[in-house]
């Protein structure tokens, strides 16, 4: 694996051959290691209770030192039962100290913003925030430009689209005027939505590359992120529109009986029934974007990849995603609402009480500009937070299922990471 963020599926585990310093003797069918004291011991540790590791690995006394009959055994890896204390695939799930009767988490290499082991929720969020803090020039520059373009167009559309909607409330307006106003408004809103989707795709693609580099402890520039993301932009656009089209089709199918029967109640029930399905599908395919960008896969391949990675971890990913959404919504509200209120005060000061009655207090230039400034600030902060959490979840799932930490360690330049896990812990971050 090279140091580019295009991560392919990890290959076989590191060589299981003898390490430097191994003797020709055998113990239990495995190559033996010679510690500093000169005593030979097996590279694969026995299960708990069958012996103690040599001094200086997890603590405890030297094997030559007699132990009391009921002395507590030091922590040691379980051969063949999962992952060892420091990494290295043994089959099964990734296990580490921290369960019942154990203490804390094992040392783990940390070349970048996250340790190379399965992450808990706090580490996923911290990885996203740490990247924003340590790579703020690249991250905030991208999101600031995208958010500014989106909000400038949004302010213009709201100003003139809402002005056209005033025609529809005029009792003297004829049907043709109402239809023209609605047509113009819908066209403007669709154009705004399209620009917002394009901007979000550009930001997501470039941020994914920056976050993937941050996992390896590498710096990224805006130009470098653009060069790495550009080949996959059309596929990411296709992925976004395919998911959007599928969501629209699902909602349409479920509300269609209510429309056919002219029943509002049935239509509402169909719309409510679509919500849990949309949430389930949204989480199921939530990792498709980083899979497409980092593995250079196709649209369908990215959807299948996300489905495979999420399988068995749906509730965990849903919980972290929902918490991220609550955090970003709170941050946005704290920023946008005060500025929107200030804009409304200025609007009322210019138009008086009549502006509040006819709705012009919210559609004047001053309130719209204040609201747009608040939205720019909020999006600049929350957009990388959401993208970062998605990338960290993708990396975490691949570490749990595919031992991606070994590939990342080699890409980060950590030599012999995972090849001698039973005797030497990797460099801590």
Q: How far is CA 54 from CA 96, 97, 144, 206, in A?
A: 20, 19, 55, 48
pLDDT at 7 over 80: no
- Beta-carbon contacts of 181 under 8 Å, excluding residues fewer than 6 positions away, are 164, 165, 167, 168, 173
Residue 18 within any structural domain of the chain: no
pLDDT digits (tens, 9 = 90+) for 101-141: 344 555 678 999 999 999 999 999 999 999 999 999 999 99
Residue 33 within any structural domain of the chain: no
| Residues 199/149, Cβ–Cβ less than 8 Å | yes
Per the structure, the count of domains in the chain is 1
pLDDT at 304 over 50: yes
pLDDT digits (tens, 9 = 90+) for 390-408: 999 999 999 999 989 988 9
Give pLDDT, residue 79.
Answer: 40
Q: Average pLDDT in the 338-364 region?
A: 70
Half-sphere exposure of 395 (CA within 13 A, CB side): 35
Give pLDDT, residue 400.
Answer: 94
Residue 117 within any structural domain of the chain: no
Distance CA(427)–CA(48), nearest Å, equals 25
Residue 216 within any structural domain of the chain: yes
pLDDT band at 173 (very low <50, low <70, confident <90, very high): low
pLDDT at 321 over 60: yes
Q: Average pLDDT in the 347-368 region?
A: 66
Residue 130 within any structural domain of the chain: yes
pLDDT digits (tens, 9 = 90+) for 16-62: 444 444 434 333 344 444 444 444 444 444 444 333 333 332 233 33
Q: Average pLDDT in the 337-355 region?
A: 75
| Residues 325/401, Cβ–Cβ less than 8 Å | no
Nearest residue to 140 (alpha-carbon basis) of 220, 236, 234, 227: 220
pTM: 0.70
Residue 189 within any structural domain of the chain: yes
Nearest residue to 396 (alpha-carbon basis) of 386, 384, 408: 408
Give pLDDT, residue 264.
Answer: 86
Largest CA distance in the chain: 101
Across the beta sheet with 23-27, what order do the strands follow? 23-27, 30-33, 41-42
Residue 327 within any structural domain of the chain: yes
> Whole domain around residue 327: which residue ranges?
122-397
Residue 393 within any structural domain of the chain: yes
């Amino acid at each position: 694996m090279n140091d580019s963020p295009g991560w392919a599926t990890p290959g076989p585990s590191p060589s299981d051959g003898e390490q430097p310093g191994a003797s020709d003797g055998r113990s239990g069918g495995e190559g033996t290691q010679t510690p500093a004291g000169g005593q030979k011991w097996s590279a694969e540790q026995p299960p708990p209770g069958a012996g103690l590791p040599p001094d200086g690995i997890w603590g405890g006394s030297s094997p030559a030192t007699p132990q009391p009959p009921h002395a507590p055994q030091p922590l040691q890896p379980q051969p063949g039962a999962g992952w060892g204390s420091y990494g290295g695939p043994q089959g099964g799930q990734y296990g580490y100290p921290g369960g019942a009767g154990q203490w804390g988490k094992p040392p783990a290499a940390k070349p970048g913003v996250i340790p190379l082991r399965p992450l808990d929720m706090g580490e996923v969020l911290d990885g996203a925030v740490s990247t924003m803090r340590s790579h703020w020039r690249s991250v905030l520059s991208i999101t600031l430009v995208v958010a500014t373009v989106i909000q400038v167009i949004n302010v213009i559309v709201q100003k003139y689209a809402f002005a056209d909607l005033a025609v529809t409330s005029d009792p003297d307006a004829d049907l043709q005027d109402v239809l023209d106003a609605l047509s113009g408004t819908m066209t403007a809103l669709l154009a705004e939505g399209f620009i917002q989707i394009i901007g979000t795709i550009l930001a997501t693609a470039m941020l994914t590359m920056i976050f993937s580099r941050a996992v390896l402890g590498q710096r990224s520039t805006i130009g470098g992120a653009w060069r790495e993301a550009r080949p996959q932009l059309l596929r990411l656009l296709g992925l976004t529109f395919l998911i959007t089209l599928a969501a629209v089709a699902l909602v349409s199918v479920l509300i269609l009986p209510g429309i056919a029967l002219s029943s509002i109640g049935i239509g509402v029930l169909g719309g409510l029934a679509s919500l849990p399905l949309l949430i389930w599908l949204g989480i199921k395919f939530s990792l498709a974007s980083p899979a497409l960008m980092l593995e250079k896969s196709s649209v369908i391949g990215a959807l299948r990849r996300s489905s495979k990675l999420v399988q068995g971890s749906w509730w965990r990913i849903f919980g972290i995603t929902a918490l991220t959404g609550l955090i970003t919504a709170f941050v946005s509200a704290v920023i946008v609402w005060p500025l929107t209120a200030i804009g409304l005060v200025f609007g009322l000061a210019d138009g008086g009480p009549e502006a509040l009655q006819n709705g012009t207090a919210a559609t004047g230039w001053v309130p719209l500009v204040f609201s747009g400034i608040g939205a720019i600030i909020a999006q600049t902060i929350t957009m990388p937070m959401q993208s970062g959490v998605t990338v960290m979840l993708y990396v975490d799932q691949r570490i749990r299922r595919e031992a991606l930490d070994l590939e990342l360690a080699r890409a980060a330049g950590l030599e012999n990471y995972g090849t001698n896990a039973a005797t030497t812990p990797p460099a801590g971050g």
